[in-house]
Structure 1
Amino acid sequence: SEVTEALDEYLSDFLFPPTENGGDPRACPLCASEGRANGRLSLRGGKFGAFVACVNYPECKFTRRFAQPGGEGEDGVDDGVIGQHPETGEDIHRKTGRYGPYVQMGEGKDAKRASIPKDLDDFDLDWAVKLLDLPRIVGAHPDTGKEIEANIGRYGPYLRHDGKYGKLTNTREVFEVGMNRAVDLLAQAANRGAGTRAAAEPIATLGAHPTSGGEIKVMPGRYGPYVTDGTTNATIPKDTKPEDVTIDAAIALIDARIAKGPPAKKGRKKAAPKKAAAKKPAAKKTPAKKKAPAKKKAAPAAD
């Protein structure tokens, strides 16, 4: 529409800032990687708001949310198909995104993605399948009967059991750790966290809060994991894994907690006022008996 075209021109410097190599900031990276000519990016209007897309759509599927390049939601550059999943037969793509290389199977909201860890020098299709099939269930904990899960989060490999976490040393251990070592690592993590909350080790450190300036951390808590900027604590929703919390999500949780205001303090119930003691009726004063006036002595009779 004319409005979208006007916004595209007006916001050009914001949406398409100069590139480091001096190239065309509107050049479509996906078209460039796939050898298509004339791939240029522009602002478009959609059902769910404005977004950046390539003029070669629908042949080119590159899209970006209405934000600066590199923001969340930007589709990764497709480096090609590395093979098919042995069980589903679906293509597995290797892509490069904001946080580095990753693999993807499927499209849209149902797509499965997994980051490629830096410590995998021999990455191949077998590793891609293993990563996409995570989490791996190690087994049932001998004390609780609940499952121990090995997985890779944004901040590295870890174990999870009954809402508690233990760290693994490398990616390979996620697929090799056995029950005995898993139980030992979880016990060690529990012992380290047995001190005060102030001494607890953060699950992740995300960066500075844009308003308070405080460092945002994901912390384990007695009543569940939470995020804090050192001043405000905000509980992480139960359906969100703490290791998957991004800095944007943490800021939103903290800001929402601030907007609610401080928790209401429970005041002590005031004791019922004591009833004033009933006044005793004043004692009746008995009037003092008046003394009869002294009788005057009769004057002596005259001779």
Structure 2
Amino acid sequence: MQPQSWARLVPAVALAAQLCLGYHTKLHSVLQQQATAASSSGAWAALVEAETDDRRFWGEQWSAMEAALLELQDVAGGVGAKGVALLQAEAGNATSAPSGTAHAGNASAIDHAEPKEEVSPLAGLKLNLNPKTTAELAPALAMLKALYEDGKERITQLNAREKQSKQRYEDMKKQHDTRLATIEARFKNGTLSAEFHKNETRDEMRIWNYWERVRERQHRQFHTSLKIQHGTMSKVKTMIDMYEKTMSGKASEAEVQKDLAKVTGAMPEVVLLQQAWRAQAPYFHEALTEVRTASAELEPLASPDLR
């Protein structure tokens, strides 16, 4: 080839090289953007799934606790001067729907709940204000024991959930650290531009901060629910002991009054079981307030901006 031909060819080759380099750079940029979007999308999808499951679980827990506490509050609040308040199943009239005016003000608090409602051990049991024999205490005692066993099972579920949530958080922390390390490594070896380094780091931290908020809420819900569950079981156990001693006729009045003093802080001079139920009422009211406050925290958290 003549020198003149080479001279004409060199600029063309240089131009082609520049075009190829420009295409490669643009392609690399597009691939970086796609990889970033895929990574953020996958992490975000996992987070949405986890939070949805978390809200479902706690929604069901609070709904069940509220139902049980409402029934207990009605029992405690329904005890009056007519006699000892007893719970007795009425054949053919069992229903899971709340009865009486005591429920009217609380209907809306249950109606709006999204999670499925669980059947309370108290459902279908009504008050018998005029017991004739200690044998009529049996339905109430059976109810209290069922409620106590339900509480133990619920605590087992709560502990298992907390363990699962803690493990999930630790796994996500490892994945988060790995993603950050990968971003830094790509930036240092020149395969990630400064702009994409900044964007990927920002998005990763936003997603992780959201994860931390989900975990903090879950942990707070766990401690609140555990406290309420233990407190309610303690009250129920006190009532079980008093019913059993009253029915057996073996315990002295002093022993029963000693148990009651744990609840009232005083030695009553009226019917022991009646006073015991009435002494529980403030706790049930306070526990209901806590349950509803915790349930209100289940509103979806603000999503991180991944634009």
Shorter-chain TM range is under 0.3
TM-score after normalising by structure 2 = 0.18
TM-score after normalising by structure 1 = 0.18
Considering fraction of residues, name the structure with more helix: 2
Considering fraction of residues, name the structure with more strand: 1
Higher CA-based Rg: 1
* Structure ranking higher on relative contact order (CA contacts 8 Å, 6+ apart): 2
